[in-house]
Amino acid sequence: MSLLFSPLTIGETTFANRLWVAPMCQYSAVDGFPNEWHHVHLAQFASGGAGMVMAEATAVSPEGRISPEDVGIWSDAQQAAWEPIVAAIHSRGAVAGIQLAHAGRKASTWSPLTGERGSVPPALGGWETVAPSAIAFEGYATPQPLDLAGIDHVVATFAAAARRAVAAGFTVLQLHAAHGYLLHQFLSPLSNHRTDEYGGSFENRTRLLRRVVAAVTEAAPTAVVAVRFSATDWAEGGWDVEDTVRAAALVADMDVSLVDVSSGGLVAHQKITTGPGYQAPFAAAVRVGVDVAVSAVGMIDTGVFAEELLEHGDADAIMSAREWLRDPHFGLRAAGELGDDIAWPPQYARARRR
């Protein structure tokens, strides 16, 4: 059996394999509710051999949505809407995860499905955004700096969302501290110019993340709590790999048991060098420097390449995104590439051999 299709145990949770579905926004919700599209979209990956299926960035509050069409979990009714989706993932043998998110200054934007770019004005269904500082993402509206009461509210919404997520059946809760969204905005000196206890030093800029981690682990003690980091801003003077390793060590000491390593998204002037597995070295740096399970993501689109990254020690698991969109049975295909004899859904067994 390959490493990719060997089980991985984190805490009390065992994943059948290490090829997972990364969160991918669908911009298809109404009032934050997941619907039939989300049900079919996510369940198909579990049928296709994924060890974990993670739901897209799910807003912890209405103002935390990236776009008006984003899903949320700020109400009991939304929790109920997620429950059959989670059950469908579990019934097909995969672990269900959810990414809990607040978009901060990158909220209230047009869905990319509309072809528009920039902030949605309040008259058309948008809202005023918040951030650590009144610094706009290029082309977006200027956000309102959060005061201390506003920060307390953010922490409380993450905790409430975590409780609802566990009640809906999710096993893994990933806190989105990457891609230029609110928690990442507090981490990076490029977007955080505060002069209070939430700005300036590394300790202060990580304070909100640490508070959210503490609140979520207390609210959901049975969950696998994960954090997604952007390992670098790809911009001078920004958050970098060394910062990520330090922050990962801090949250690992607070019962975070999985760190997912991505990059970028904070500023429009970022200079990214991409290529197959281009973020794997960042994941490796965290895995070497911190005693925590690590997943790698970024242009990993074959089973053979995923296996090479695991054999090299870059990560404990692989997150893929677009390859699952191209082929919802990527897991079954990757196992075939590696010669692994994994279980197929019995309904599909007739297609197993050509």
Q: Which residues are catalytic?
A: 181
d(CA 197, CA 203): 9
Beta-sheet strands, E only, within 81-200: 95-101, 130-131, 144-145, 172-177
> What is residue 276's DSSP assignment?
T
* Helix (H), strand (E), coil (C) string for 149-171: HHHHHHHHHHHHHHHHHHHHCCC
d(CA 31, CA 50): 29
d(CA 294, CA 55): 18
Residue 23, SS3?
A: coil
What does the longest C-alpha to C-alpha distance in the chain come to? 65
Q: What backbone torsions phi and psi does residue 253 show, to the nearest 5 degrees?
A: -75, -10
Neighbours of 13 (CB within 10 A): 17
d(CA 290, CA 281): 14
Neighbours of 216 (CB within 10 A): 29
DSSP per residue, 287-346: HHHSSSEEEEESS--SHHHHHHHHHHTS-SEEEESHHHHH-TTHHHHHHHHHT------G
- The token duo for 277 is 């597995």
d(CA 122, CA 128): 7
d(CA 114, CA 34): 19
CB 315 within 8 A of CB 280: yes
**Rounded to a whole number, what is the distance in angstroms from the first to the last CA of the chain?**
22
